[in-house]
Structure 1
Amino acid sequence: MQTSQRNLYSLSATLHGHQGPAACIALNFDGTLVACGGYQGTSIWHLPTSNYKMEVPTLAGERGMTTALAWMVKRDNADDALAYGTEDGYLVFTEVFCQLLEGGSGTEITSLAYDANSSQLAVGHRSGVIHRFLIDGGMKPRAMKSALLPLHSSQVVSFGHHGSSGPEIWSFGRDSGEIAIIDENAKVLKTHTTGSVIGHAFMCIKDDVLILDDVSLGVALYKISTAARIRTFAVPGDTRRCRNIAIHDQGTAILSGSDHGVVYVFDRRTGDVKDQIPVGGDWVQSLSVFTQVMFHVIMVANLLQSVDIEGTPTIAVAQSGENVGVNPIQLWTRRASISQREAISTMERIMGMICVVMALSFILQNISPSHFFHLVNGLFGLISSTFRSLLQADDGWAI
């Protein structure tokens, strides 16, 4: 099993089928689907079976390479839908394994963001136009007001707080280093100047945290409520390239790609490098994160292994260099510590004891006293051995 430099992460799966540099990667909301975009269009994998489910419905050459992805889901509909933007300015809606919608043209679509609470989709254009769509029950877009931000060159869009004028859209300008906050009426409520070239951005409203890829220095950590820069996490590198970044592992870690094939995992509190994940020898721009909860992943068809992931933070990543040929998507999962494994084992034993007690209650109602005596002796021996092993565990209760 391939592991990271400090053995905190292991390579749990390799998803084959993608060719050339990866421009964008996105995991859906329940962690069962991963999409990747690039020169060949859009590819989707179904993670529980690792099936290479679908290629882009029309070739990338007809609309340009896929440059942005966003998964969408409605509260009253369990089906996921995928929206993607292209280099030639097309916005495409693909309801997974079903219908295709297309609209608009123009300059490169650089970023997409979906807000499940309002069912709105934000679209960022290189030209500085920020579009807003309302997604109806049929997963069809209905255009709302768009904002034009001169000289902005939007690199990333994200949804912020929900105010009296609906959910805010935050647009991050690449070369200008400007952050613009826009309401539903396409009014710019506020702007912030960072003084940096912005390669990527990631917001966590719940924790009041914003991180930016400062192309010159590394990852910049901001407090959303005050727009104050708190810390900079230096990312080694010889060239100034955009790097995708993310907040990871319940907000305790920050991830960053690099120009030399390594994903850096920083401790958010101390700023130290917790680990380095080797992806390859080329530029790593695209990554996505997800905490997978209670679903069984079976890796087949020349993939690495079978894994049972329960609440395990997972990273999807691929190389983005121009000279990359075959470029599989890598899934890295955080490895459980010794104390975590002991805690899981303890919980399994406790659940086993509960099942025994429930079975005993049933037996009491259906067998004779003599048979019951023999069963009690056996049960006593089982419980005694279980408690002896629990007492020998160092951190068995540290959950």
Structure 2
Amino acid sequence: MLSLRSNSKQSYRLHGKLHGHSGAIVRLQATGDGNFLASGGTDGTKAWDLHSMREIPGPTWLETHGATTAIVWVKREDNMTLALVYGTQNSQLVCWQGFKRGGKLVFEEVSITAPLIKSAEITGLAFDASSNRLAVCHRGGGIQLWTVEDSMTLKFVWSQEFKNYVPRAVAFSQLEGDERSVLVFPLYGGYM
């Protein structure tokens, strides 16, 4: 992986390289402030500090979860703890929570959610901080909504199955009154 920084002349130069994955990288997700990056692939998930260009220590027993296929950073408005939720090809949702240990950030696995509606690869994740809701879509044609509890565990809210298309990505709409819609983007057909 490469990190490029813009200089005052609006051209880019190599800032650094991240080394650590041994297999294909399937997903990358940076935090909104650009301080951290999560990468996921066939050999699991890794978190990176983009200032030091070093891997952040995290769980090492990832082989049982399967390849990482979706990633989202989570930061609740009422709890400033940084967390990372990722989905796998084995239909698991895994949550890592950030902790300070010896003044440095480390991640620990705090929850694993069993397979979703149907056991299928998770294809997309989205988080809405104002409602602490996590939207999940998967290759089996389903979408689910979860609440991210203060302990960073997930509480099921609702699910919907689609028979005619495969959801590829999911997002939350802008606030309309006091509600948000969940937007679902399918892999085939051009529907939304």
The answer, yes or no, to whether TM exceeds 0.5 is yes
Other-structure match for 2:46: 43
Residues 60-139 of structure 1 mapped to structure 2, 5 A cutoff: 60=63, 62-96=64-98, 97-105=107-115, 106-139=119-152
Code of the residue aligned with 1:14 in structure 2: it is K
Give, in angstroms, the shift of residue 33 of structure 1.
1.4
Contact 1:127/1:152 (8 A) holds in 2:
no
Give, in angstroms, the shift of residue 158 of structure 1.
0.8
Contact 1:159/1:169 (8 A) holds in 2:
yes
Note the alpha carbon deviations across 1:196-218, whole angstroms, 9 max, x for none: xxxxxxxxxxxxxxxxxxxxxxx
Q: Give 5+ residue unaligned stretches, structure 2.
A: 99-106
Other-structure match for 2:190: 177
Give, in angstroms, the shift of residue 28 of structure 1.
1.6
Give, in angstroms, the shift of residue 127 of structure 1.
1.2
In 1, the alpha carbon distance for the partners of 2:5 and 2:169 equals 33
Contact 2:96/2:109 (8 A) holds in 1:
yes
Root-mean-square deviation (CA), in Å? Answer: 2.2
Query: Which fold has the larger relative contact order, with Cα–Cα distance below 8 Å and residues 6 or more apart in sequence?
Result: 1
Give, in angstroms, the shift of residue 110 of structure 1.
0.4
In 2, the alpha carbon distance for the partners of 1:65 and 1:56 equals 15
Give, in angstroms, the shift of residue 165 of structure 1.
7.1
In 1, the alpha carbon distance for the partners of 2:169 and 2:46 equals 22
Q: Give the structure with the larger strand fraction.
A: 2
SS in structure 2 at match of 1:98: strand
Other-structure match for 1:25: 28
In 1, the alpha carbon distance for the partners of 2:44 and 2:77 equals 29
Structure 1 moving runs of 4+ over 6 Å: none
Contact 1:127/1:153 (8 A) holds in 2:
yes
Contact 2:137/2:143 (8 A) holds in 1:
yes
Give the total of aligned pairs.
176
In 1, the alpha carbon distance for the partners of 2:114 and 2:156 equals 11
1:15 matched to 2:18: yes
Give, in angstroms, the shift of residue 51 of structure 1.
2.3
In 2, the alpha carbon distance for the partners of 1:55 and 1:24 equals 17
Give, in angstroms, the shift of residue 22 of structure 1.
1.2
In 1, the alpha carbon distance for the partners of 2:73 and 2:22 equals 22
- Please say which structure displays the higher CA radius of gyration: 1
Contact 2:147/2:155 (8 A) holds in 1:
yes
In 2, the alpha carbon distance for the partners of 1:130 and 1:84 equals 15
Give, in angstroms, the shift of residue 55 of structure 1.
4.8
Between 148-157 and 93-102, the greater mean CA deviation after superposition: 93-102
* Distance change >3 Å, CA 7–CA 73, structure 1 → 2: closer
Note the alpha carbon deviations across 1:296-330, whole angstroms, 9 max, x for none: xxxxxxxxxxxxxxxxxxxxxxxxxxxxxxxxxxx
Contact 1:41/1:56 (8 A) holds in 2:
no
Give, in angstroms, the shift of residue 164 of structure 1.
5.4
